[in-house]
Structure 1
Amino acid sequence: MVLTVCLMIMGACEIAVSFCVLVLAVANSQRFRKSIPSPDGYGYGGMLESLKKNDFSRFRDSVYVDYTGAGQYLDSQIAKAFEEIKKTPFGNTHSNSPASKNSEIEVDKARKLILEWFHTSSEEYDVVFTSGATASLHLIGETFPWTRNSHFYYLRENHNSVLGIREFALHNGAKFHVINSTDVEDECKAPGAEQSSGDEINNLFAYPLEENFSGKMYPKEWINLIQGKNRFHCSGKWYVLLDIAAFAPTHDLDLSKYSADFVVLSFYKMFGFPTGIGALLIRHASASILNKMYYGGGSVLQTVTQSGDHRVPTSTTRRFEDGTPNFLGISALKFGFEALAGVGGPAAINKHTMAVTHYLYGKLKSLRHYNGQPVLEIYGNHASGDDAAQGPIVTVNVKTPAGE
């Protein structure tokens, strides 16, 4: 396999480049298999060549390594999606017609499928459809019950969409704190006082399971260790907001074991199509604290023009989904999940991506300038060799021979 990446260095300018590989075009997969550190995990059990030929023909002359930016759809996946909307009439879910019933059925099926994918059910979580992970984060920031006694803690490695929540916290007088993983580990080792029943202070801790800059991974165990305790020397109840936008495309998450209060993701990151659809998973036990003010479309049952009287649904999904949901896109989600399951699901995807990642890291690490200095600074936890600490993202900084 020859993978050529062209990088331009202008003077002492440093350029950061990220690679995240899900399906890599390989000229001779058998020869490549012999050269990688983890050959057993590579190639989706021999399916890679077939996938390239039948479902990724558009990449015949190119290599796609921007899976952190967006996943790639299978040809068969979108063919099934468009065939369905050609044959089945769909309509507004807020209407009452055969077409709208078709949409309603598909939306309900999609919610159930998402919960099953993450090993939970509607008895524990609600699925609120949004336009993406960023919109989901916005919704939490806007509706979280901030007070002057509240605290918002987040890792410095969070996506900037998480940092935007800070503005809602500050607007309501709350305090924010930027911490690193060592701070969280130290806090989790401490016993933490149990929250008293009369404590009405609500605090939020946000972190990604995989950060999308270098692919560093963070422990799921933090969720259970932070929830419900008086943590970080702050009184009150703690809620955990989990960003799995970078994690979900290549890893499995069991929400029955690690029950974060709020979980955000984007589906195009997982399987490329459709774009513009994400989800906010809200744990039932935490839904009641969220204070949503705006209503519109399906998120209101009745409103009076001449006064402030209105009535909103009791259902969490109806209450948080303003306007008409993207029912055509939502109906296509099942074909994306089917595509992932077809290559072996998260376990097979993780093995393949990590096999390629280990190979790429080893090759990039060996690059040297004429004077022996490394060509690249490589970020993340790759050197640990621990797949629980590092995801399939390789981010490098191109250095001059002087190390600048």
Structure 2
Amino acid sequence: MAGGAADPEAELPAFGQFRDSNAQRPYGDGRGSLGELRAREFGRLAGTVYLDHAGATLFPKSQLENFTRDLMENVYGNPHSQNISSKLTHDTVEQVRYRVLAHFGTTADDYSVVFTAGSTAALKLVAEAFPWVSRGPQSSGSRFCYLTDSHTSVVGMRKVTAAMGVSATPVRPEDLWSAEDPGAAASDPDCRLPHLFCYPAQSNFSGARYPLAWVADVQSGRRRPASAPGTWFVLLDAASFVSTSPLSLAAHPADFVPISFYKIFGFPTGLGALLVSNRVAPLLRKTYFGGGTAAAYLAGEDFYIPRPSVAERFEDGTISFLDVIALKHGFDALERLTGGMENIRQHTFTLARYTYAALASLRYPNGAPVVRIYSDSEFSSPEEQGPVINLNVLDDNGNVLGYSQVDKMASLYNIHLRTGCFCNTGACQRHLGISNEMVRKNLEAGHVCGDDIDLVDGQPTGSVRISFGYMSTLEDAQAFLRFIIDTRLCSAGGQPVPQACAALEAGAPAAEAECSRGLSSREGALTDAGVWTESSSAVPAGAVPPPLREATGTQQTPSEKAVGVRDGDLGPHVVTNLYLYPIKSCAAFEVTRWPVGNQGLLYDRSWMVVNHNGICLSQKQEPRLCLIQPFIDLQQKIMVIKAQGMEPIEVPLEENGERAQICQSKVCAARVNTYDCGEKISSWLSKFFGRPCHLIKQSSNFQRNAKKKHGQDQCPGTTATLSLVNEAQYLLVNTSSVSELHQQLNASDQNGKGELFPMKDLILRFRANIITNGTKAFEEEKWDEISIGSLRFQVLGPCHRCQMICIDQQTGQRNQDVFQTLSESRKRKVNFGVYLMQTSLDSSSPCFLSVGSQVLPVWKENGGCHNIPASKKHQDVVS
């Protein structure tokens, strides 16, 4: 259902229930409030609002410490050996099995625990081992039925059953058993055909909780998901449900229950289990056998005797025994810190209910809802709804804002959430109204699961999901609400529309009272405006901005030529500024004339800074990268690197083949060969950032080809090669486009304090190579090709901007206004600037790009690849 016109005052008792339930059930171990628990166990969350617990919850500090201490104090060997350390491992693992069963309200008399690589592996195991009967002349065969609101890993079981000649039947929640006569089961003839019905205890899409009573109903024959005589078995997908709720298998004895432990404990990852009813276990069939599963076998002939227990038969090879031992410490921490799963259920549900009520009440001044909530419940009971809220943000005309845009904005508030379809296409289609044909159409448009193509023809391809865990606080919920209000319901002066804040403001006194009852906010983390402050590593306001120099060595004020250009100034299209960025994500190096190579401007993005694991750092993780100032001296063949408080350091432009340490890295999922620039510069960077860093350079003998993107084919015979850029060889920005954004940003300066965002600072935020003037705003997005002097470029398409445009390139400090304003003005797509690919390069003589060169565009309506007449070519001009 969509969020209705809920009365904020009427819905706010949900917050009171939160307070009351927390008081009745002391949360934690009695050593302090939830705020103190957060500080003690989850200090790494300071300044962060983590709302993706349905994706992966977080482990407490003490859990990891106790596990590490266990490993340091004991010797755990391979459980398949017979020595003392192996016996210790075997016994500990068996004890953990008992602990798992006890957690789910059962014992080894009724269930067995088969450890797997996760819930997906557990589901695959059932698909392969279930005693299916294929269709044949004398039998209709087994049936595999699954709820359409199921995880991909459940739906994927149908590929296994299809290979076995077994029919698969998807069942929509709203149609379940609507045509079935509950009394028909008793009249069915005695038939031993085994059928399997799979459904989730909790939807990982919407958090809807399906009745656990369905387990017994289907098993007993009172209800059936399809008209098929025989014996029905039930697989209860509990992976999402058990992360925040208790499950008693004594009360609801499902035949198969797959789980993932990181959903419950946060650690270890990659470990799950299949809980198998012992009455069903003998029916399971095994084709493959691995180490440890055989009681006896012959290598020379087909003779194999499996071990007797279901766990020993299905745990092929050596299990991840150290991770299994870690589970013991997960259970210990969960019980010690929370008092049990029932407390977690009440705590997380009430947070979700409070947030739901506030979101549902938010309205634009015209009465339109701010969000559309996808839910099958009114969040009235934890039996019907889990701590998950799925939504899309709307504009005041009811149009959906793409989830990728919301995700980028949330990251500016340091809010971590989940977007997309969450590996649940069935629920996504049902709630968002996406037909099968639309799915196919979206695929043809380039959209695949997990990407950031959030709108196709104005229709959403996915949504936004927030979810709570046991360490979530009221402040987390309110930070998300403030984020929605700040980004959707703020007036030009930056103040929230009063009516929009009714729910949040009405709850404020109660929130303050609750702080003393175990829900205190993290000290110093939240400002009055609801924006998370920077960490202690934030750049001081007085940091020296990076100077930008010409290739000739003379100093130049960046972008002065571009200031003041307006739509009406329709002079010739001219290059006003040229920038290269020798070190990826570091400061710009401005030039007036620069050589062009096969990968773009010579030495543009040839180096990058990586962390101790070899992962490329960007300003998203480390904003202070923009304070690293590289200067290239082509004559001396060196790059000089400067930063405030550091002595300048030199790096050679080319590697020394005898000393270079070759390594492999990734840029935008593409593999690149690089070499390490040495310990001297590594120490310099590590000192500046306060953590281990290295400088690496793309190897000169490595070629990385550009991917075809943006729906355009390259001209025949052209294959662009890339440096360490993300998308294309060049990025062009039009000053008229910047000027329009400049006016919008500074329109709110009602106090006459001057420019909030100076034009030259805005230009630097977009980190373009080529700056032009003499065009209308965003006219560049209509170009197909351009020529600059003797060089030709194909326009590949717009640059989809990320959060980096919110970082002031002279101070390293963030301000979300740039992204938000651009988002609003560009109508749901944050595009700015266009990508260029070089289509002609005369290798017989050096080529240069120069400031002052005329830019000649070819418009899209003229077709694809064009030959620009020689009369339109101009020589490079040096200003």
Work out whether the TM-score is over 0.5: yes
> In 2, are the aligned partners of 1:37 and 1:359 still within 8 Å (CA)?
no
Residue in structure 1 matched with residue 372 of structure 2 by the alignment? 377
Q: 2:161 aligns with which of 155, 162, 169?
A: 169
Residue in structure 1 matched with residue 333 of structure 2 by the alignment? 339
Q: 1:312 aligns with which of 306, 310, 313?
A: 306
Write the letter of the residue equivalent to 2:228. Answer: C
Residue in structure 1 matched with residue 214 of structure 2 by the alignment? 222
**For the pair shown, which has the larger CA radius of gyration, 1 or 2?**
2
Give the Å deviation of 1:189.
7.2
> In 1, are the aligned partners of 2:373 and 2:391 still within 8 Å (CA)?
yes
C-alpha distance in 2, partners of 1:115/1:391? 23
Write the letter of the residue equivalent to 1:213. Answer: F
C-alpha distance in 2, partners of 1:145/1:34? 47
Residue in structure 1 matched with residue 19 of structure 2 by the alignment? 39
Instruction: From the superposition, tell whether residues 194 and 83 of structure 1 become closer, same or farther in structure 2 (CA, over 3 Å).
Output: farther
Describe the SS at the equivalent of 2:198.
strand
Are residues 1:111 and 2:105 paired? Answer: no
> In 2, are the aligned partners of 1:36 and 1:359 still within 8 Å (CA)?
no
Gaps of at least 5 residues in structure 2 are 1-11, 136-140, 400-879
Give the Å deviation of 1:381.
3.2
Residue in structure 2 matched with residue 156 of structure 1 by the alignment? 148
Residue in structure 1 matched with residue 88 of structure 2 by the alignment? 102
> In 1, are the aligned partners of 2:58 and 2:266 still within 8 Å (CA)?
yes
User: In the TM superposition, what whole-angstrom CA distance separates every residue of 1:279-332 from its partner, at most 9, and x where no partner exists?
Assistant: 100001111221111000111232222211122111111001001011101011
Are residues 1:123 and 2:109 paired? Answer: yes
C-alpha distance in 1, partners of 2:260/2:180? 29
Residue in structure 2 matched with residue 138 of structure 1 by the alignment? 124
> In 1, are the aligned partners of 2:78 and 2:86 still within 8 Å (CA)?
yes
Give the Å deviation of 1:53.
1.4
User: In the TM superposition, what whole-angstrom CA distance separates every residue of 1:343-371 from its partner, at most 9, and x where no partner exists?
Assistant: 11111101110121111112211222342
User: Structure 2 matches for 1:5-404, cutoff 5 A?
Assistant: 36-42=16-22, 44=27, 47-146=33-132, 147-148=134-135, 149-184=141-176, 186=178, 190-194=182-186, 199-229=191-221, 231=224, 232-342=226-336, 343-383=338-378, 385-404=380-399
Q: Report the more deviating stretch, 382-391 or 154-163.
A: 382-391
> In 2, are the aligned partners of 1:37 and 1:358 still within 8 Å (CA)?
no
Q: Report the more deviating stretch, 301-310 or 133-142.
A: 301-310
Write the letter of the residue equivalent to 1:102. Answer: L
Higher strand share goes to which structure? 2
> In 1, are the aligned partners of 2:239 and 2:259 still within 8 Å (CA)?
yes
Describe the SS at the equivalent of 2:242.
coil
> In 2, are the aligned partners of 1:375 and 1:398 still within 8 Å (CA)?
yes
Across the aligned residues of Structure 1 and Structure 2, the Cα RMSD in angstroms comes to: 2.1
Q: Report the more deviating stretch, 287-296 or 358-367.
A: 358-367
> In 2, are the aligned partners of 1:277 and 1:329 still within 8 Å (CA)?
yes
C-alpha distance in 1, partners of 2:122/2:187? 27
C-alpha distance in 2, partners of 1:93/1:66? 35
C-alpha distance in 1, partners of 2:131/2:14? 55
Give the Å deviation of 1:382.
4.2
User: In the TM superposition, what whole-angstrom CA distance separates every residue of 1:218-276 from its partner, at most 9, and x where no partner exists?
Assistant: 00100001014283321111000011111101111111111000001000000101111
Give the Å deviation of 1:139.
0.3
> In 2, are the aligned partners of 1:70 and 1:268 still within 8 Å (CA)?
yes
Gaps of at least 5 residues in structure 1 are 1-31
> In 2, are the aligned partners of 1:195 and 1:228 still within 8 Å (CA)?
no
> In 1, are the aligned partners of 2:353 and 2:379 still within 8 Å (CA)?
no
Instruction: From the superposition, tell whether residues 34 and 168 of structure 1 become closer, same or farther in structure 2 (CA, over 3 Å).
Output: closer
C-alpha distance in 1, partners of 2:265/2:58? 6
C-alpha distance in 2, partners of 1:189/1:50? 55
Instruction: From the superposition, tell whether residues 187 and 203 of structure 1 become closer, same or farther in structure 2 (CA, over 3 Å).
Output: farther
> In 2, are the aligned partners of 1:188 and 1:226 still within 8 Å (CA)?
no
Describe the SS at the equivalent of 2:127.
helix
Describe the SS at the equivalent of 1:297.
coil
Residue in structure 1 matched with residue 827 of structure 2 by the alignment? none
Describe the SS at the equivalent of 2:335.
helix
Q: Report the more deviating stretch, 312-321 or 190-199.
A: 190-199
Describe the SS at the equivalent of 1:301.
strand
Residue in structure 1 matched with residue 583 of structure 2 by the alignment? none
Write the letter of the residue equivalent to 2:44. Answer: R
C-alpha distance in 1, partners of 2:357/2:296? 61
> In 2, are the aligned partners of 1:249 and 1:270 still within 8 Å (CA)?
yes
> In 2, are the aligned partners of 1:299 and 1:320 still within 8 Å (CA)?
yes
> In 2, are the aligned partners of 1:36 and 1:355 still within 8 Å (CA)?
no
Residue in structure 2 matched with residue 8 of structure 1 by the alignment? none
> In 2, are the aligned partners of 1:143 and 1:291 still within 8 Å (CA)?
yes
Describe the SS at the equivalent of 1:233.
coil
TM-score by length of 2: 0.41
Give the Å deviation of 1:387.
2.1
Instruction: From the superposition, tell whether residues 64 and 195 of structure 1 become closer, same or farther in structure 2 (CA, over 3 Å).
Output: farther
TM-score by length of 1: 0.88
> In 2, are the aligned partners of 1:130 and 1:278 still within 8 Å (CA)?
yes
Give the Å deviation of 1:35.
5.1
C-alpha distance in 2, partners of 1:225/1:257? 13
Write the letter of the residue equivalent to 1:332. Answer: A
Write the letter of the residue equivalent to 2:209. Answer: M
Instruction: From the superposition, tell whether residues 187 and 256 of structure 1 become closer, same or farther in structure 2 (CA, over 3 Å).
Output: farther
Structure 1 segments of 4+ aligned residues over 6 angstroms from their partners? none
Give the Å deviation of 1:34.
10
C-alpha distance in 1, partners of 2:14/2:154? 41
C-alpha distance in 2, partners of 1:158/1:306? 44
Q: Report the more deviating stretch, 115-124 or 360-369.
A: 360-369
Write the letter of the residue equivalent to 1:258. Answer: H
Describe the SS at the equivalent of 1:207.
strand
Give the Å deviation of 1:143.
1.0
Identical pairs, percent: 38
> In 2, are the aligned partners of 1:300 and 1:310 still within 8 Å (CA)?
yes
C-alpha distance in 2, partners of 1:250/1:268? 12
Residue in structure 2 matched with residue 21 of structure 1 by the alignment? none
Q: Report the more deviating stretch, 256-265 or 295-304.
A: 295-304
User: In the TM superposition, what whole-angstrom CA distance separates every residue of 1:167-216 from its partner, at most 9, and x where no partner exists?
Assistant: 11111111111112344364787134249795221100000110111100
> In 2, are the aligned partners of 1:265 and 1:280 still within 8 Å (CA)?
yes
> In 2, are the aligned partners of 1:132 and 1:276 still within 8 Å (CA)?
yes
> In 1, are the aligned partners of 2:53 and 2:263 still within 8 Å (CA)?
yes
C-alpha distance in 2, partners of 1:246/1:303? 39
